[in-house]
Amino acid sequence: MPDGCVLACSVSGPEAGTPVVFIHGFPLTGEMWRHAAAALSGTCRCIVPDLRGHGASDASDRATMPMFADDLVTILERLGEKRPAVLVGLSMGGIIAMEFFRRRRERVRALVLCNTRALPETEEGRAGRERLACDVLARGSIAAADQMIDRLLAPGAEPALREHWRSVMASNSAVGVAAASRGLADRADSRPTLPTIDVPTLVVAGQHDVITPVDLMHAMASEIPGSRFEVVRGAGHLTPVEAPETFSRLLTGWVRDLQHADSAHTAVTPA
Ligand code: MLT
pLDDT digits (tens, 9 = 90+) for 74-120: 999 999 999 999 999 999 999 999 999 999 999 999 999 999 999 99
pLDDT digits (tens, 9 = 90+) for 48-79: 999 999 999 999 999 999 999 999 999 999 99
Q: Is the pLDDT of residue 267 over 70?
A: no
- pLDDT at res. 269: 57
In the reported structure, the alpha carbon of residue 122 is separated from the centroid of ligand 1 by a whole-number distance in angstroms of: 14
- pLDDT at res. 265: 74
Contact between 86 and 255 (Cβ < 8 Å): yes
Beta strands 9-12 and 44-49, pairing class: antiparallel
pLDDT digits (tens, 9 = 90+) for 185-224: 999 999 999 999 999 999 999 999 999 999 999 999 999 9
Ligand 1 pocket test: pick from 92, 150, 190, 209 the residue with the most ligand atoms within 8 Å of its Cβ. 92
The predicted model scores a pTM of 0.96
Ligand 1 pocket test: pick from 99, 211, 242 the residue with the most ligand atoms within 8 Å of its Cβ. 211
- pLDDT at res. 91: 98
**Residues 111-132, mean pLDDT to the nearest whole number:** 98
Q: What mean pLDDT is reported for the chain?
A: 96
43 burial via Cβ count (<10 Å: 0-12, 13-18, 19+) = middle
